[in-house]
Structure 1
């Protein structure tokens, strides 16, 4: 049986690593275009969607909240939403360090623990397993996809392997 740790902590870590990789490619592209990092972080596909910087911020905050729910301990909170690109990289790196400190035994055997979950104006209560499957994992994938789509749509040279490589790292290549 797959453990609660296995379906959460490594997945969240991989999403943040891919977020950083894709953001770095976007940053390089912006430099080539003589675009400021502030303008890069303000990119969006449609006017009514959140900008690139917020997409990254949400992935970090969602991961931090998941750590809190999964371990029962609160990680340091992030103040403010408007971040520079350097601050976003630092947030990602700090959160990856927090994820690396989570031990399997901190998470497993907590499957049945009920936790709160707020989504928009709605409040929910659910088991940790349902929480992981229903909120942080779909949320971070959604925002990772938006980060990729925003950058790719603006002309950043991204391919499927930029997205998939980290997730496929444990695979054994046979040819």
Structure 2
């Protein structure tokens, strides 16, 4: 049996978003234990021209929703990027996962050849075929933001490591639920 576009995207996004929630929980706990204001982590960034931790979580959410919408045709919920607390970030991730879980795998049938166009600036559009879009943009962009969120937390002293980033290893059917 071949790997479907649904299998290569939705369970992957759900799993990583669940890991991201766990990483954020460890960040919140670290701030509490160290007597730090949560904003010291939430507004942290790796470089001045990069998004904050909040921004990284928002972009991971947006990338997973946008990729799913472009490939399945199922409209994604719009979220206004107003989160400023760990609790609000958890809620955003939960809402994103609920959307992803709501998509019928049949909606992905044939999407590997679907035309996808991204607006990459005011005068630049990038055209993809569905499979190339998922593998060369959707998944890499998503993991860039999840990884950067992890890196911000790690850089700020949160005790997270590779095993935390990888999450539960084993049976796929239980890890994406």
Q: Which runs of 5+ in 1 are unaligned?
A: none
State the SS of the aligned residue for 1:116.
strand
1:120 offset after TM fit, Å? 4.6
Which structure 2 residues correspond to residues 9-158 of structure 1 after superposition, within 5 A?
9-121=10-122, 122-158=124-160
State the SS of the aligned residue for 1:6.
helix
CA contact (8 A) 1:27 1:37 kept: yes
**TM-score normalised by structure 1 residue count:** 0.89
Q: Which residue of 2 aligns with 1:162?
A: 164
State the SS of the aligned residue for 1:8.
helix
1:118 offset after TM fit, Å? 2.8
Q: Measure the CA separation in 2 of the matches of 1:33 and 1:117.
A: 43
Q: Deviations over 1:25-74 (max 9, x none)?
A: 01110111222222221112222322111011100011111121121121
State the SS of the aligned residue for 1:125.
strand
Q: Which runs of 5+ in 2 are unaligned?
A: 173-177
Q: Measure the CA separation in 2 of the matches of 1:11 and 1:145.
A: 14
CA contact (8 A) 2:83 2:89 kept: no
Work out the number of aligned pairs and report it: 170
Q: Deviations over 1:112-169 (max 9, x none)?
A: 1101123355321211111111112001111111111111111111121111123x23
Q: Measure the CA separation in 2 of the matches of 1:66 and 1:163.
A: 22
CA contact (8 A) 2:58 2:81 kept: no
Q: Measure the CA separation in 2 of the matches of 1:114 and 1:24.
A: 38
RMSD (Å), alpha carbons: 1.6
State the SS of the aligned residue for 1:117.
strand
1:82 offset after TM fit, Å? 4.8
Q: Measure the CA separation in 1 of the matches of 2:15 and 2:38.
A: 24
Q: Measure the CA separation in 1 of the matches of 2:125 and 2:36.
A: 40
